[in-house]
Amino acid sequence: MASPRLRTITVAIAIALAATVLAACGSSSEEGGGGGEENGPITIGFATAQSGAFASYDKPAVDGAKLEIEKINAEGGIDGRKIKVVEADTRTDINGAREAADEVLANGAQFMMVTCDFDYSTPSIVEAQSHNVVAMSPCAGSTKFRTDVIGPNGFSMGTGVPAEGASQAEFASEKLKAKTAYVIVDPTIDIDKQSGAAFEQRWKELGGTIVGTDVFQQEDQSFSAQISRLRELPEPPDVIYLASYPPGGVRFVRSLRAAGIESPILAESNFDGSYWLKSVPGLSDFYHTAYGSMNGDDPEPAVNQVMAEYTKKYGKPETEIGALSGYSVIEALKRAYEKAGTTEASKLVPALEEFHNEKLAIGPTTFDKLNHITLDRPVRIIQVQNGKESLVGLWKPKKVPVIE
C-alpha cells in the first residue's frame, strides 16, 4: 500500500502543511468557492482511491455515500437542492490525492469526500481548504484531524484510533484474561503509530505487562527478524497487538502463524472485512475492531439497515468500515446544511462543530472547534475463528489515552 518513500513524503507534507493551511485560511474569503450557486444542485466531489490498496476502503465508502445520496434526491434533495456527484481517482497515491482534489474542484465540487487515511487525504484537504471547501474523510482514524494541525475545513467521520487501541487493551484484559502483551507497529501511516501507543498506554494502566515491542514496514516481504525476536521470549505473550493494515499486515499474520506462533492477535479496524482471510487459511484467535457488523447481527438497528440496503444494491462490501462511514458522511452533510443553509465553509464548519453525540448510522458523532473527529465512539470487536468472522460484541472504552 505504501511506497518506501512514504515516510519522507509524509514528513515533507507535515512541514509544508502549516504554511499551506494558513495561506488557505487567509485567502478563503477572496477565493470564493464552497457555496457555489445556492439554487442549483449541491456538487459533491469524491477525491478517493478507486484503484490501489486503499480502494478496499474508499470504494465501499463512495458506494455507501451514493446510497444515501439516492435516498435524499428521491425525497427532493437537501432543502430542495438535489445532489450532483463528480469523481476522481487518487490511485492510492500522495500526489494523486492532490490531483484528484484539483479535478473535482475544477468540476464544481462544493463539498469533498476524501480518502480513508490522514496521510493520503492531507493533500486533498489542503486543496479543498484553498477553495473554501469542506472536506471529510469517511474513516480516517488519526486524531490529527484537529483545526490546529489539519486546518479548519478538514473533518473525519472515522473514530479516533486511540479508542480502538484502548478498547482492545480492555477487551484482552477483561475478556481474554491476558496479562502479557507484545506490540508490533507498522509505522508507515499515522494511525498505526497512534494505535500502538494507545494500546500500550492503556495496557499498562490496566496492570498488564509489555514483554516486547517491534516494528516492520508495510512493504516488507520477510519478517524473519521479528519472528526470531518473538521466539526468544521465555514464554509466548498472552496476546500480540498488531498495528498495521493489509496487505503488509496480512503477510505478517501469515508469517506468524506459519512460524507456529499461536498467541491471539489483536488489531484495528484496518483489518475490517473478510476479503483478506483467504490469504491466511484457517486463521483463528484473531480479533479486530470494526465500526459495525456487516452480517445483520449488529446491536444497532441503523447499522443493520444500512448494511442490508448496501448489500441489496451493491452486494456485500469488502469492508463495512467504508460502506457505513461513507453513508454517514452524507447524513452529516445533510444535517449541517439544513442548519447552515449553504456549503460555504464559514457557515458549514460551525454547523458541523455543533454535533454532540449526533446520532448517525455510524454511531454517536461529536465535533468541536478543535477536534474534527470523534474521539470515543464505541467499537465492535470482531473475532476470526477457523477463517470465519463473527461479532463478539459492542465495546465502549472506559478510558481513551490522549495520543497526538
Residue 396 scores a pLDDT above 80: yes
pLDDT, tens digit (0-9, with 9 covering 90-100), for 331-366: 999 999 999 999 999 999 999 999 999 999 999 999
CA 202 from chain centre, in angstroms, equals: 21
Task: Give the residue-averaged pLDDT of 107-113.
Answer: 99
CATH fold label, 162-290+379-395: Rossmann fold (3.40.50)
Helices (DSSP H) in 37-184: which residue ranges? Answer: 55-74, 94-106, 118-130, 161-174
- Backbone dihedral angles phi then psi of residue 235, each to the nearest 5 degrees: -140, 150
Taking residue 395's Cβ as centre, other Cβ atoms within 10 Å add up to 20
Domains 6-159+300-365 and 162-290+379-395 belong to one CATH topology? yes
Residue 309 scores a pLDDT above 90: yes
The whole-number pLDDT of residue 318 equals 82
Locate the domains of the chain by residue range: 6-159+300-365, 162-290+379-395
Residue 310 scores a pLDDT above 60: yes
Task: Give the residue-averaged pLDDT of 252-273.
Answer: 97
CATH code given to domain 6-159+300-365: 3.40.50.2300
pLDDT band at 24 (very low <50, low <70, confident <90, very high): very low
The whole-number pLDDT of residue 210 equals 99
| Consecutive H or E run containing 182 | strand 180-185
Pairing of strands 239-243, 358-360: unpaired
Q: What SS3 class is residue 213?
A: strand
Task: Give the residue-averaged pLDDT of 50-60.
Answer: 94
The whole-number pLDDT of residue 37 equals 58
